[in-house]
């Protein structure tokens, strides 16, 4: 029998958040080491429990959730999502504009597979949440990264976006609030993106999975609320705002200039029906989550656990000589720059590997977020402060001596 090899479709696909360094961490765990994993934004293992109502709802609905649902999702969940975006002032949305999926991840894949032909280009942020780049590549598209400017609170560089538009550009992707940088885009920036999309006939994909995780009074604007002249695909879900990443509950909303996108929307519908439906018991959590008390606010406001941890992480990182981190305004990550010259670093992956081996702390290197320049890492600030503090002290002592002899 010939060797069984992976498809060439995977040649340019990369998803390093759970890549080789995470595999090394698993190996070390098997050998008996305790690894502090600050690499994945998974709130539950750090004691961020889901609101009780959500759990009760899933348990209550379990006996009647044994069959497939409509492939777009159960009615109650879709109505709840529709109302959620109506409250954000998005005009003209109907129930058929909403597709419930197994997490935002599935909807990212579906949204790109339905859109792209070989060589079609999609503008993606650098740094990005790497599933977006992987989904474009796997769908035969060409990812083209636009610069987000660290000096400007990690906002997208509009001139860079404009300079990268070609006759093959189909869409622009925004992640707002942003993973990994924690940036929260204001209306003025979003309006500029809308203007570019309008001028060049581009679809805007907006991943807003962190839309309720905002600090310091920052407000979220759903870009699709700014105009109905552009075709928008907005994605959201329960994994982060409601701390139930394991439920795999997410959604996709089409809005704006839907007249130009009838064929594409039919394509999404076809892909949704090919996988039957999303996990049915957890779809029932969506209505309860969106309609109920928003306990996430208690975590992100002054005195809230997540905000305190954000402060500990950002402040302690900025106290380490040679490290700089723009304080995140949203989400659950610090994205820190390492002075590569000071530490004589040419490979940020090796740096994260060395940190893992020496301090038993697992982070993700900047290149994993498709950022090809500079030396960065992402740290998840989900652990309690009494775990984060000593971990950051250890990261500080690692950099005190790292490659400085």
Residues in contact with ligand PLP by CB under 6 A are 41, 103-105, 129, 175, 179, 207, 209, 237, 239, 245, 250
Give the residue with the Cβ less far from ligand PLP, 183 or 392: 183
Nearer of residues 201 and 246 to ligand PLP, judged by Cβ? 246
In the 8-state DSSP scheme, what is residue 245?
G
Q: Which is nearer to ligand PLP, 103 or 141 (CB)?
A: 103
**Min dist. Cβ of residue 396 to ligand PLP (A):** 26
Q: In whole angstroms, give the CA distance from residue 276 to residue 229.
A: 32
Residues 181/326, Cβ–Cβ less than 8 Å: yes
Q: Please state the closest distance from residue 106 (CB atom) to ligand PLP, in A.
A: 7
Pick 84 or 399: Cβ nearer ligand PLP? 84
Q: Minimal distance in Å, beta carbon 178 to ligand PLP?
A: 8
Q: Which residues have CB under 8 Å from 236's CB, separation 6+?
A: 81, 84, 104, 208, 209, 211, 250, 251, 253
Closer residue to ligand PLP (CB): 114 or 320: 114
Could you tell me the two tokens for 130? 């790497």
Residues 38, 17: Cα–Cα separation, whole Å: 11
DSSP notation for 348-386: HHHHHHHHHHHH-EE-EEGGGGT--SS-EEEEE--S-HH
Q: Which residues pair with 204 in a beta bridge?
A: 172, 232
Shortest separation between residue 250's beta carbon and ligand PLP, angstroms: 4
Residue corresponding to tokens 């030396």 = 375
Q: Who contacts 4 (Cβ-Cβ below 8 Å, separation ≥6)?
A: none
Shortest CB 43 distance to ligand PLP, Å: 10
CA 346 to mean position of chain CA atoms: 27
Least spacing, CB of residue 382 vs ligand PLP, in Å: 12
**3-class SS of residue 147:** strand
Tokens of residue 160, six digits: 């860079």
Whole-number Å distance between alpha carbons of 221 and 234: 12
| Nearest CB to ligand PLP, comparing residues 320 and 363 | 363
Shortest Å distance, C-beta 166 to ligand PLP: 26
Q: Which is nearer to ligand PLP, 258 or 365 (CB)?
A: 365
What are residue 337's DSSP bridge partners?
Answer: 324, 376
Residue 84 backbone phi and psi in degrees, to 5:
-60, -45
Kindly state the smallest distance separating residue 17's Cβ from ligand PLP, in Å: 8
* DSSP state letter for 48: -
Residue nearest ligand PLP (C-beta atom) = 103
SS3 content of the chain, % helix, strand, coil (to 5): 45, 15, 35
How many DSSP H helices and E strands does the chain contain? Answer: 14, 14
The Cα–Cα gap between 99 and 369 comes to 27
Residue 84 beta carbon to ligand PLP: minimum distance, rounded to whole angstroms: 15
- Compare residues 250 and 383 and give the one whose CB is closer to ligand PLP: 250
| Minimum distance of ligand PLP from residue 114's CB (angstroms) | 17
Tokens representing residue 177 in the block: 């609030």
């Amino acid at each position: 029998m010939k060797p069984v090899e992976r498809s060439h479709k995977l040649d340019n696909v990369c998803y390093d958040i759970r890549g080789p360094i995470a595999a090394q961490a698993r190996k070390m765990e098997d050998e008996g080491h305790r690894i502090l994993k600050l690499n994945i934004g998974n709130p539950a293992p750090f004691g961020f429990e889901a609101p009780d109502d959500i759990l009760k709802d899933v348990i209550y609905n379990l006996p009647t959730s044994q069959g497939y649902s409509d492939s777009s999702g159960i009615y109650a969940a879709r109505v709840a999502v529709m109302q959620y975006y109506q409250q954000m002032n998005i005009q003209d949305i109907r129930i058929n504009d909403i597709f419930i999926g197994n997490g935002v991840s599935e909807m990212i894949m579906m949204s790109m597979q339905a859109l792209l032909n070989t060589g079609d280009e999609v503008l993606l942020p650098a740094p990005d949440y790497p599933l977006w780049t992987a989904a474009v590549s796997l769908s035969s598209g060409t990812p083209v990264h636009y610069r987000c400017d660290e000096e400007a609170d990690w906002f997208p560089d509009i001139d860079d976006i404009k300079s990268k538009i070609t006759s093959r550009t189909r869409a622009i992707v925004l992640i707002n609030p942003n993973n990994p940088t924690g940036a929260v885009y204001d209306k003025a920036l979003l309006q500029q993106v809308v203007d570019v999309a309008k001028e060049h006939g581009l679809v805007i994909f907006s991943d807003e999975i962190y839309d309720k995780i905002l600090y310091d009074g920052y407000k979220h604007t759903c870009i699709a609320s700014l105009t109905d002249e552009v075709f928008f695909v907005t994605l959201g879900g329960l994994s982060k705002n409601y701390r139930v990443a394991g439920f795999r509950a997410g959604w996709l909303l089409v809005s704006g200039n839907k007249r130009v996108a009838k064929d594409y929307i039919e394509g999404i519908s076809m892909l949704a029906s090919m996988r039957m439906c999303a996990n049915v018991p957890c779809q029932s959590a969506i209505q309860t989550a969106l309609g109920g008390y928003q306990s996430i606010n208690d975590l992100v406001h002054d005195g809230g656990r997540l905000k305190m941890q954000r402060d500990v992480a950002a402040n302690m990182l900025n106290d380490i000589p040679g490290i700089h981190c723009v304080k995140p305004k949203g989400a659950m990550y610090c994205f820190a720059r390492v002075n590569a010259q000071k530490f004589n670093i040419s490979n940020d992956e090796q740096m994260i590997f060395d940190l893992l081996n020496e301090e038993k702390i697992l982070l993700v290197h900047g290149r994993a977020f498709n950022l090809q320049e500079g030396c960065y890492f992402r740290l998840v600030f989900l652990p309690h402060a009494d775990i984060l503090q000593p971990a950051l002290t250890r990261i500080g002592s690692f950099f005190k001596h790292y490659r400085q002899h």
